[in-house]
Amino acid sequence: RKGVVVVTGASSGLGLATAKALAETGKWHVIMACRDFLKAEKAAQSAGMAKESYTVMHLDLASLDSVRQFVHNFRQSERPLDVLVCNAAIYRPTARTPTYTADGYEMSVGVNHLGHFLLANLLLEDLKKSDYPSRRLIILGSITGNTNTLAGNVPPKAGLGDLRGLAGGLNGRNSSAMIDGGDFDGAKAYKDSKICNMLTMQEFHRRFHEETGITFASLYPGCIATTGLFREHIPLFRLLFPPFQRFITKGFVSEEESGRRLAQVVSDPSLVKSGVYWSWNKDSASFENQLSQEASDTAKARKLWEVSEKLVGLA
Ligand code: NDP
């Protein structure tokens, strides 16, 4: 049978490129888990994806009810789940004030981390049941959360501190809207959320890999300077960022190439190792990358897990 993969945020950028790459192999049925049904359907059609290669299902990660509803709807479809890709994200680098999810959490961490945290925990049961030879749970990371890299040192730097803002509810009322309890900074909130993504992947690995055999992985797909991720940035940045990445840092990758990379993490038999943060070198060969000290801090990963469980209603 075909493998079944759920990709969140498959309506644009990396998610769409990955959905297309997987669909084209003829070996995968892609569940495009998206907040805008019509946009996702149009995106799939204009990417030339064959009708029988995908299903669009509604998922808004800014609402925990929607996450639970998605899981319910997916189970109603009676498809198995072989791979889950937590790809969707928002980035609000110029925001001066926080916005909030339906549950009252700061939006970047709420969508990128908490929504995916609940989704991944619920769908773990479905992954366990699958009889597919290689079951995988993939959570997108980023270089920007890794302060052991040049890009990770561009201010404002990521940092979760002692998680006091998150533990306080991340609501901007009786707690800070930032994980570390500091003043709101939209760019930092995104970077913090990516640290959470990488810590969560490793904590999943420690808790469940041995018992379940599921592969847990994260990755930095390269700088895909042309995606919608930068839609809220100032126009000058959006104009100059792609050529800057292409010619100066040479870190630029096309959406197509990044989609091929993530598709490898989904299905390549040589990328089956669990607990790994994958990156690619200049010749597009994959390698196991090192995470920064904070992004691989096991005590912090455990604490983040426990606080997150409470915020999403799992504990
Ligand atoms: P895009 O903005 O192009 O895609 C993000 C996707 O997430 C869109 O499909 C968007 O939906 C979806 N999304 C946003 N909010 C929600 C929500 N509340 N519920 C459901 N879906 C939502 O960005 P990219 O493709 O660049 O980013 C994909 C991933 O890659 C992210 O995890 C990002 O952190 C990571 N990444 C990107 C890099 C880059 O250089 N671009 C570098 C490193 C990592 P909609 O279409 O409706 O807006």
Ligand 1 center from residue 220 Cα (angstroms) = 13
- What is the reported pLDDT for 187? 95
Q: Sign of torsion, CA 24 5 212 128?
A: negative
| Cβ–Cβ < 8 Å for 290, 224 | no
**From 54, 190, 220, 277, active-site residue:** 190
- What is the reported pLDDT for 134? 97
Residue 111 has pLDDT above 90, yes or no: yes
Q: Is the CB of 90 under 6 A from ligand 1?
A: yes
Q: Is the CB of 49 under 6 A from ligand 1?
A: no
| Cβ–Cβ < 8 Å for 190, 108 | yes
Q: Is the CB of 308 under 6 A from ligand 1?
A: no
Residue 251 has pLDDT above 90, yes or no: no
Our answer to whether residue 190 is catalytic in this structure is yes
Q: Measured between alpha carbons, how far is 130 from 153 in angstroms, rounded to an integer?
A: 41
Q: Is the CB of 251 under 6 A from ligand 1?
A: no
Which pLDDT tens digit goes with each residue over 18-58? 999 999 999 999 999 999 999 999 999 999 999 999 999 99
Which pLDDT tens digit goes with each residue over 147-202? 777 777 778 989 999 999 999 999 999 899 999 999 999 999 999 999 999 999 99
Q: Measured between alpha carbons, how far is 244 from 236 in angstroms, rounded to an integer?
A: 12
pLDDT, mean over the chain: 95
Ligand 1 center from residue 13 Cα (angstroms) = 7
Whole-complex ipTM: 0.99
Name the most confidently modeled range: 173-177, 203-207, 220-224, 250-254. 203-207
Which pLDDT tens digit goes with each residue over 130-147? 999 999 999 999 887 677
* Ligand 1 atom 45: residue of nearest CA: 11
Q: Measured between alpha carbons, how far is 266 from 18 in angstroms, rounded to an integer?
A: 9
- What is the reported pLDDT for 283? 86
Q: Measured between alpha carbons, how far is 200 from 24 in angstroms, rounded to an integer?
A: 30
